[in-house]
Chains A and B, each alone.
Chain A
Amino acid sequence: MNYFSEGLVWFNDPLNWTNPGGLLDRLSEHLAISAWAVLLGCLVGWPLGIWMGHRGRGGGVVVTLANLTLAIPTLAMLTILPLTPLGFGRPPVVVALAVFAVPPLLANAYTGLRQIDPETRDAARGMGLSGGQLLRRVELPLAVPYLAAGLRTAAVQVVATAALATFVNGGGLGEIIRAGFGVGMSNGGGGQIVAGGIAVALLALLVEALLAGLQRLVTPRALRARGRRATPSVVPTA
């Protein structure tokens, strides 16, 4: 059987899009969860990374944190957090995803501030800029490409892992895949599973493309050759 064409047939039914719990419902859930998680991750990762980068300390912490979160399965976070005082519903899912968004945001913010030429920093000091002024007028503008790179890595990862929220009934596009398994392979569930897979994959690729464009947009032309992702693009997806 050709499950791929069954998946396309599933997409072709308008009811699969507009039904309650259909594609559009799940997509908006998915985007809402992801947006909150990325926002929360930014609120934690950026100030911390910028502060550590400005002070020039804590590089070891950044590396340790990144390695440690690599070893923690998303599934464990998703199942443990609802049992804490966070309670059930959307908050634990958002927090679980945000935990995995912090390392790339933090690492890129830190690297973004550390990669600045020490001579630039010295020159700014020599011109009489205080620590805060140095941060606002020199360091942050120069780190913008790195912040954007971190945002891109984190957002793509969050959108990808948000699909796992279905394991704890957290909503999102993953629900379509799981519901497909519920229907069963013999009853045409295969098409729905494949359709869900295609939808999740397309969304991740779309977010990646959009944010790559954004990253290019906020990177000054002179920095474009250097403004690569600071973290190696080996991002865990679970």
Chain B
Amino acid sequence: MSFLSWGGDLAGGRGFAAVAAPADDGPGNPWFSWRYVQDNADAILSALRFHADLTARSVLIALLVALPLSVLAYWIKPLTGPILALSGILYTIPSLALLALLAPAVGTTSSTSVLIALVLYALLVLVRNALAGLTQVPAEVRDAATGMGYGRVGRLLRIELPLALPGILTGLRLATVSTVALVTVGALIGKGGLGDLILGGFASNFFKAQIVTGTILCVGLALILDLLLAGVGRLLTPWTRVRRS
């Protein structure tokens, strides 16, 4: 359905797809054009906003689910194997296939289908890294905490989770960067944010400026979010810096 409407009224008639390359900006079809960016600033910004919003929501939901899940796998050892195996199998399923399985049931025009697929992928990255971080807490540290009178929950909150923070943050960065790239697959149902921009450019006579603008913004968004999280990580884990210097 949405495939037939690539050219014009993508995602509610934003209409950026139908714009032709401006004539005074190099011959024919330039790789990049400020003129295009200026003329279509609204459409580009709304695609960017949609993209960032979907990424943020997916990663946040995934984080909220992943943390309890990895603590569960950490506390109840027999659950670790099944949780990791399931995550491995789920991760092997291609994003397009997952979207194709979800979209008919959830709604072929709703961004919720994309959101669910993104949450599932981010979830697996987060669980794996959080679990790796938790299991790397040295046994002596755990013993010492128990000896100091910490209960299970207190030890988790005060000792184990803070020590697992580097692992959790690595997972968060990986999940964020790959989610930004994965959102583009949502273009299958016209809910791909910058992916819609890229695909729209391809569909309207291979309009290079639009494709490249979408790509640059997508990669840029991923890098900025990654740097942001790296900065947050440095602030949250000052001890890793001290050890290094």
* Chain A residues near B (Cβ < 8 Å): 3, 67, 70-76, 79-80, 82-83, 156, 159-161, 163-164, 166-168, 174, 177-178, 180-182, 184-185, 189-190, 193-194, 196-201, 204-205, 208, 232-238
Contact = CB atoms under 8 A, between A and B. Distances in A.
B100 A194 contact: yes
A181 B189 contact: yes
Interface in B101-122: 101, 103-105, 108, 121
A163 B97 contact: yes
B130 interface: no
B97 A193 contact: no
Contacts of A205: 89, 92-93
Contact of A73 (B93, B100, B195, B202): B195
A206 to B, nearest CB: 10
B106 to A, nearest CB: 10
Given A197-B97, A200-B96, A201-B94, A234 B199 contact: no
> Taking chain A's interface residues, is the majority helix, strand, or loop, or is none over half, making it mixed?
helix
B185 A198 contact: no
Given A200-B94, A204-B93, A236 B178 contact: yes
Interface size class of B (residues with CB under 8 A): 35 or more
Contact of A79 (B93, B95, B211): B211
Given A76-B198, A79-B201, A178-B188, A200 B100 contact: yes
B96 A164 contact: yes
B91 A233 contact: yes
A143 to B, nearest CB: 24
B101 to A, nearest CB: 4
9 cross-chain pairs, A with B, having the tightest CB-CB distances, nearest first: A197-B100, A160-B94, A71-B222, A200-B97, A76-B215, A190-B104, A73-B184, A197-B101, A201-B97
B144 interface: no
Given A233-B91, A238-B178, A182 B3 contact: yes
19 contacts: A72-B215, A72-B219, A73-B180, A73-B182, A76-B211, A76-B215, A79-B201, A156-B92, A177-B188, A184-B1, A185-B1, A185-B104, A199-B97, A205-B89, A236-B181, A237-B94, A237-B95, A238-B95, A238-B182
A177 B214 CA distance: 24
Nearest to A6: B104
A66 to B, nearest CB: 10
A73 B95 contact: no
B93 A181 contact: no
A168 B206 CA distance: 11
Contacts of B206: 82-83
A43 to B, nearest CB: 24
A217 B189 CA distance: 41
Contact of A71 (B108, B195, B219): B219
A160 B95 CA distance: 8
B187 interface: yes
Contacts of B222: 70-71
B2 interface: yes
Contacts of B125: 234
B208 interface: yes
Contact of A80 (B97, B181, B188, B215): B215
Most buried by B among A76, A163, A199: A76
B182 A236 contact: yes
B226 A71 contact: yes
Contacts of B188: 167, 177-178, 181
B218 interface: yes
A80 B177 contact: no
B96 A75 contact: no
Given A233-B88, A233-B91, A177 B198 contact: no
A82 B199 CA distance: 13
B128 interface: yes
A181 B214 CA distance: 24
Interface string B184-211: 1101110010110011011000101001
A180 B104 CA distance: 10
Contacts of A182: 1, 3-4
B98 interface: yes
A238 B181 contact: yes
Contacts of A196: 97, 100
Contact of A238 (B1, B104, B185, B211): B185
Contacts of B91: 233, 235, 237
Contacts of B103: 193
